[in-house]
Structure 1
Amino acid sequence: MKHSAECFALSLLSVLVATAAMGDAEDAPILEEMLVTGGKDNIQTLSGSAQLIDEDTLEQFDFSDLNQALGLLPGVYIRSEDGYGLRPNIGIRGVSSERSQKITLMEDGVLIKPAPYSAPAAYYIPNISRMSAVEVVKGPASIKQGPNNVGGAINLVTPAIPEDRQGFIDASIGSFDYQKYEVFYGNSHGDFGYWVDALHYSSEGFKTLENGADTGFERNDFNTKLQWRPSLWGYQQRFTLKLGYADEGSDETYLGQTAPDFAQDPDRRYAASQLDRFESEHAQLHLDHLIDFSSTFKLNTKVYWNRYERSWNKLDGFIGAPYVDLSEAGVDVRDVLGRNNGSLFPRLLGILRGEIDSRPLPVETLDVTNNDRKYGSSGIQFKADYLLEGASVQQHIEIGLRYHSDYIERDHTTRGYLMTAGTLVNDGIEWGSKTINEAQTDALAVFVNDTLKWRDWTFNAGLRVEDIDAEAEDFLNPAINNKSQTVLAPGAGAFWQFSDTLGFLVGVNKGFSPAGASAGEDVDPEESLNYEYGLRYQNGSNRAEVIGFFSDYENLLGRCRASDSGCEVGEELNGGGVEVAGVEMFAEWFLPTSGKLQYPVNFNYTYTESAFQSSFNSSFPQWGNVQQGDELPYLPQHVGRLQLGVQASDWDAYLAFNYTSEMRDEAGQGSIDSVLHSEALSTVDLSVIWQASSRLLLQSSVDNVFDEQVIVSWRPFGARPNRPRTLRLRLRYAL
């Protein structure tokens, strides 16, 4: 299959052409880094919902797990998997959190998933430790982002080029041999600026194998940003080149436990997972050009190229179809590990634990599959900003265009192993390949967004158009599938500042998530009508908002992963109509004080309910036999966080209370106690920071102070824990 190499060459040419316009223009100040929200001040009058976590807030707990950082915001749901956020499961406003595939993920406004159209599962995500801000946009505010805007979008923002010399050495150690080391240095010399950043992040893991092997990970990131800010042909401009490389090696598994085993030791790992190993490499090149033609018109061009390769050698259950007849196939590993199913399959459970030796039969042969995949994405995007100002009216028109191409190549090879005295021994049989396929997608996206400010009102109307052409080819069962989709996604909103401190917002937009390249003709894209309304309050540095949301799905889309049974990898299935409704609350304020201490408080809470609008039987394992009124799986009804702080001149302390309610493992209704479900989790985190000198900062943090561990997920295979109590000590020295 042809991958669009021409796109990258065209993109480079387009950047050069964009700078060739000549004419007179007023000098503009050095152009600043751009945020998709426009910054905290702009958020307060947006006619859609948006939040921003700035660098100071990220530093309060020195987050290295994006899941923890997103816990600061309402409307965002997290399903923990490995305890460190290596491959997070993030959902927004009711969309599936499964491998973050239903949200748009960006770095500096550029799509950052390995293949956001062809295979949108986020097996790679940038490390939050090297970011200076995180933005989340929802509702009409997400019209400018795609391809997934049913729930919203997340933008990870890298540091700006410093105007003066800036650098630091940052070192952390902690429980389970946790280590994080980062070196950053940047400076500007006239029109030129740069920074370089190196980050190492690792742990031996908190889970235990009988043979004493590591269950941890090691990640490395190397990034640099180069910038030239000339005034060419009378126009202030900015050229930015960003280069990055990242790799990971982790002894991570899909295998969990039975509930009784979990109750005895949540951190135990069965011997059947001893060969599980994930390895990956990621490379990126992003080129950004910004030009001010005048004080009212600017053009931003972004060119990007990303490559990602990963192999995940992991237990996939017992040998089954297509290698042997169903009558000879092993039991699905989920059935062995189900709520109380261990007693139904004592021999197979004993093999998984390493307590019973396998007999040379397919039903007792462990399937260890190496999931090898290669991804690529590249493209070019333009965004023009035009500002019109009158006596009482200000109008901001944004026009964007993006051409994007991405691909995925899958090659999954199975090897059989017999459990022998607690060790996996290869059975010597060539089982062959389980999956060999590839998919490629080309997408053209255009949006127009018009914001009108008049007196105390802000009105917004926008339209996004996506034209998507995809092709998938299966090499084991020779077949080629072509899928073309065109969608128009309009949105509109309004904000009324009816007093000095209070404002009202209302908005509606069409949500869209495209069907994948392998989807059949009968599979529809995910579409919804999303409504929101609420109040905003601001008085100085004190802010609060309450926003209600309602999503009316015309069709919910389910996407099969390698860990799902009963469907093929990449297969997509219709879920019909679904309704999701909820309320988001957010507040940050400072308690009154007359002394030198300050007392910041941060609070957020989200209530969500959902219901399928029809009854049907699905081969998608998270849905199963759906009845009208069933709730969506892995969607918590309650999520919240309360953070209290004390700030002095040279020290800070923060205490955070986190809560996530239980979640269904499959669609259903009624009492949750009698069915498979994750458990409610309450944790407390503590962080103390001491600015020992102008250059030296010391920090001590404890995550999960009271060491609470519960079953946070039954997927992929069996009961999985959250991370136990973890102590971290940090030293940061400014250069």
Structure 2
Amino acid sequence: MSITINNTARPLSYLTTALCAAGLIALTPAIATAEAVAPVETIIVIGQKDGLRTIPGSGATIEQADLVRARVLSVNEALRQVPGVFARDEEGMGLRPNIGIRGLSPTRSSKVLLLEDGLPLSFAPYGDNATYYHPPIRRYSRIEILKGASQIRFGPNTVGGVINYVTPPAPDAFEGQATWAAGSDGYLEADLNLGGPIAGMRALVHANATQSDGARDNQSLKINDLYLKLEKSLGEHHELTLRVSRYGEDSQVTYSGLTQAEYLANRRQNPFVNDGFKAVRVGSSLLWAWEINDTTTLKTSASYSWFNRDWWRQSSNSAQRPNDFSDPACASMANLLTTCGNEGRLREYHTYGLESRLSHSSEMGAVKFESEYGIRYSDERQNRLQINSDTPTGRTPGISVNAGVRENNLRYLQAWSGFATTKASIGAWTISPGVRYEHIDFQRVNRLNPASPVRGEDQIQEWIPGLGVSYKINPRFAAYVGVHKGFSPPRVEDAINNTTGSSINLGSETSTNWEAGLRGDLTKGVAVDLTWFRMDFDNQIVPSSVAGGAGATLTSAG
């Protein structure tokens, strides 16, 4: 047993060590390989890379071999391998990725549906689909991306695309891998994968601890991630999979950038030395897979997650502290570290989900059918506070001009959804029609005045059809066309007026998405995938003023 330490300017990830053996204790062969086949208990989006050939629409997979070859450090670096996917860095570590697909805004990944093993990864995919945390890339063995009509199998967001992160299966025999890495800017990382049989089950444990001083001054980062998967076979036709995870972050990060003058003076400075972000996310899911017969499988999952986020900062935009001239203590940047207070944006989310999917294959003459039907219930509960303090390091409500409790909101959302899709194959042709239905109930309670809280409700219903067609030109090439309805519901806070409780009548953001493409293998090791796409928005939700900015009112632009 040996340990090799590699201290480089670019720290190595867990996947990199498969090639470089940096800080590696090789207990047994790697837990997951690029050839690993998804077991029956996994909710599959695409499957292995060969599965792309049968999808009547655009999509992509990033296999473990691709991640190793690219030496990715974060999810942003991994996703940049896929054309049409833009991942914008925020703090340099991929902790809060901003992912956009096909030119849509990447801010907080709000136009993308993020999944883990086919289940929602976001803390509130309906009511507040923003990404304020992200597990480390080392947790995953494969990434799947859908950009065409096939994404209506999932929801609620179908405008941009679906990204599914796939965890490796629990191994049948004991395997393990430990990695240590170090780099510049105080970067340290320890990563551990262990798996094998235990108490009649198969288990997989992944643990990761990462810290860094950051690429800017006063921007330290520290995360701890723990993931556990237990798989249990109940006879030949039943599988249970339990997943439990805990993600924690304690970082000194700010919401503010630099002015041009500040950047020219020191591009790595961060004057907001007292800003801080803490987050904890606990997730769990139980999946029961029942192989009814050789052609029919039922998968039912129950999931719950709790997410708590406290972000204390002195400014979210240029009009707020410390440039708030209505408050003498915050009249200029000169007061930043002395008299100007801060703002605590405190969030808590509880998210529940229950879902069943039935897949069935059949034949009728020369036509082969692969059908899938699903129904899901989602329940999201948000508790949101904004507390303004009197000092740069305060953590309690203050008494100065703009201090005190500024927001106290409860937000609820219940959603029912269902879908039906089928893939009919005859000869070289594959036709895949499908439809999805979403029913969403919003509720909002403004408790800023406890004596007379303001309550409001709203409701949205939407049918989401889609159609994809592919033609296998020869064993190496296939062409495809598709059209589907894009759908993205408004956030609870955007659907209901906070002051009056009345509906803002935003409706859903909808579009008609078209695409046509060609993919195949030019030669061994060289693949091509060309896609034309068009999005016609029927109702796009945008800021009502041209200036926009933080706090801008939203409206339906049509």
Range class of TM-score, shorter chain:
0.7 to 0.9
Matches of 1:184 and 1:405, distance apart in 2? 33
Q: State the Cα distance separating 1:189 from its structure 2 match.
A: 6.5
Q: Say if 2:519 and 2:527, in contact at 8 Å, map to a contact too.
A: yes
Aligned twin of 1:262:
263
Asked if 1 retains the 8 angstrom alpha-carbon contact of 2:388 and 2:398, the reply is no
Hey, what's the Cα distance between the residues in 1 that align with 2:241 and 2:513?
36
Alignment of 1:615-694 (within 5 A): none
TM-score of the superposition, structure 1-length normalised? Answer: 0.65
Which residue matches 1:287? 286
- Determine the structure 1 residue equivalent to 2:273: 274
Note if 1:509 corresponds to 2:459. Answer: no
Matching residue within 32, 41, 48 for 2:57: 48
| Aligned 1:541-560 pairs, distance under 5 A | 541-558=525-542
Deviation at 1:256, TM superposition (A): 1.5
Looking at structure 1, the residues matched to 473 and 317 of structure 2 have their Cα atoms a distance apart, in angstroms, of 64
Alignment-mate amino acid for residue 399 of structure 1: Y
User: Is the contact made by 2:374 and 2:420 (CA closer than 8 Å) also made in structure 1?
Assistant: yes
Aligned residue for 2:32?
Answer: none
> Equivalent residues in 2 for 1:127-146 (5 A)?
127-146=136-155
Identity across matched positions, percent: 29
Aligned to 1:225: 229
1:327 CA drift (Å): 7.8
Compute the displacement of 1:417 (Å): 3.5
> Which position in structure 2 is the counterpart of 1:733?
none
Specify whether residues 559 and 84 from structure 1 end up closer, same or farther in structure 2 by C-alpha distance, changes over 3 A only.
Answer: farther
Among 91, 100, 114, the alignment partner of 1:91 is 100
Q: Is the alpha carbon distance of 1:298 and 1:155 closer, same or farther for their aligned partners in structure 2, counting shifts above 3 Å?
A: same
Q: Residues of 2 paired with 1:390 and 1:540: CA distance?
A: 36
- The amino acid of 1:226's aligned partner reads L
- Structure 1's 427 and 384: CA in aligned 2 closer, same or farther, altered over 3 A? closer
Summarize deviations over 1:215-239 as a string: whole Å, max 9, x none.
21111011111111122xxx51211
Give per-residue Cα distances to partners, 1:91-144, cap 9 Å, x unaligned: 112322111112111111111111111211111222212111111111202111
Asked if 1 retains the 8 angstrom alpha-carbon contact of 2:91 and 2:214, the reply is: no
1:521 counterpart = 2:504: yes
Contact (CA 8 Å) 1:319, 1:329: kept in 2 or not?
Answer: no
Q: Which runs of 5+ in 1 are unaligned?
A: 1-28, 209-213, 334-346, 359-364, 577-735
Is residue 376 from structure 1 mapped to residue 359 from structure 2 by the alignment?
no
| Equivalent residue number for residue 15 of structure 2 | none
Q: Could you tell which deviates more after superposition, 528-537 or 515-524?
A: 515-524
**Distance (Å, rounded) in 2 between the aligned partners of 1:229 and 1:206:** 47
For the residue of structure 1 that corresponds to 2:474, the secondary structure is: coil
Distance 2:397 2:63 in 1: 53
Does residue 1:171 correspond to 2:180, yes or no? Answer: yes
Q: What secondary structure is seen at the aligned counterpart in 1 of 2:516?
A: strand
Contact 1:482 1:517 in 2 (8 A): no
Partner of 1:534: 517
Q: Does residue 490 of structure 1 match 2:475? A: no
1:227 aligned partner, one-letter code: E
Residue 253 of structure 1 corresponds to 254
Change (3 A) 1:320 1:536: closer
Are 1:471 and 2:446 matched, yes or no? Answer: no
> Within 5 Å, which residues of 2 pair with 1:693-732?
none
Q: Is the Cα–Cα contact under 8 Å of residues 317 and 366 in structure 1 kept in the other structure?
A: no
The number of equivalent residue pairs is 504
Q: CA RMSD in A?
A: 2.9
Q: Shift of residue 313 of structure 1?
A: 0.8
Distance 2:550 2:533 in 1: 34
Is the Cα–Cα contact under 8 Å of residues 290 and 300 in structure 1 kept in the other structure? yes
Quick one: structure 1 residues 559 and 409, their matched pair in 2 at CA, closer, same or farther if it must change by over 3 Å? farther
In the TM superposition, residue 32 of structure 1 has moved relative to its aligned partner by: 6.2
d(CA) in 2 for partners of 1:454 and 1:306?
43
SS at match of 1:176: coil
Q: CA-to-partner distance for each residue in 1:51-105, whole Å, 9 max, x for gaps?
A: 1111122223443411111101011122222121211111112322111112111
| Shift in Å, 1:391 | 4.9
Contact 2:255–2:316 at 8 Å: present in 1 too? no
1:448 to 394, 414, 420: 420
For residue 716 of structure 1, what is the aligned residue in structure 2? none
Distance in 1 between residues matched to 2:376 and 2:297, nearest whole Å:
17
Distance in 2, Cα, partners of 1:226 & 1:471: 36
**What SS does structure 2 have at the residue aligned with 1:260?**
helix
SS state at 1:458 partner: strand
User: Residue in 2 aligned with 1:458?
Assistant: 430
The aligned residue for residue 8 of structure 2 is none
Which one-letter code corresponds to 1:408 in the other structure? Q
Query: Of residues 407, 411, 415 in structure 1, which corresponds to 2:389?
Result: 415
- The corresponding residue for 1:241 is 242
Bigger drift between 89-98 and 303-312 goes to: 89-98
User: Quick one: higher RCO (CA 8 Å, sep 6+), 1 or 2?
Assistant: 1
Partner Cα separation in structure 2 for residue 424 and residue 377 of structure 1:
30
Aligned to 1:670: none
* CA distance in structure 2 between the aligned counterparts of 1:134 and 1:307, rounded to whole angstroms: 24
Q: Deviations over 1:154-194 (max 9, x none)?
A: 11111111122211111111111111111111113696211
Residues 34 and 513 (structure 1 numbering): CA distance in 2 closer, same or farther, change over 3 Å? Answer: closer
**Contact 2:100–2:160 (CA under 8 A) maintained in structure 1:** yes
1:395 has 2:366 as partner: no
Residue by residue over 1:583-625, the C-alpha shift from the partner in whole angstroms, topping out at 9 and shown as x without a partner, is: xxxxxxxxxxxxxxxxxxxxxxxxxxxxxxxxxxxxxxxxxxx
Larger Rg over CA atoms = 1
Paired with 1:410 and 1:41, the residues of 2 have a C-alpha distance of 45
Distance 2:223 2:538 in 1: 41
**Deviation per CA, 1:410-452, whole angstroms, max 9, x where unpaired?**
111001347xxxx999997452112111211011110001101
- Give, as a single letter, the amino acid of the residue that structure 1 aligns with 2:304: W
Amino acid at match of 1:93: R
One-letter code of the match for 1:524? G
CA offset at residue 525 of structure 1? 1.1
Deviations 1:14-69 (A, max 9, x none): xxxxxxxxxxxxxxx97364431132111122111111111122223443411111
Q: Return the TM-score normalized by structure 2.
A: 0.84
**Mapped partners of 1:199, 1:217: distance in 2:** 14
Q: Distance in 1 between matches of 2:40 and 2:76?
A: 32
Is 1:308 matched with 2:307?
A: yes
- One-letter identity of the residue aligned with 1:575: A
Residue in 2 aligned with 1:574?
Answer: 556
Alignment of 1:104-119 (within 5 A): 104-119=113-128
User: Is 1:504–1:536's contact at 8 Å kept on the other side of the alignment?
Assistant: yes
Alignment of 1:7-156 (within 5 A): 31=40, 33-156=42-165
CA 1:32 to 1:381, structure 2 compared with 1: closer, same or farther past 3 Å? closer
- 2: CA distance, partners of 1:318 / 1:72: 32
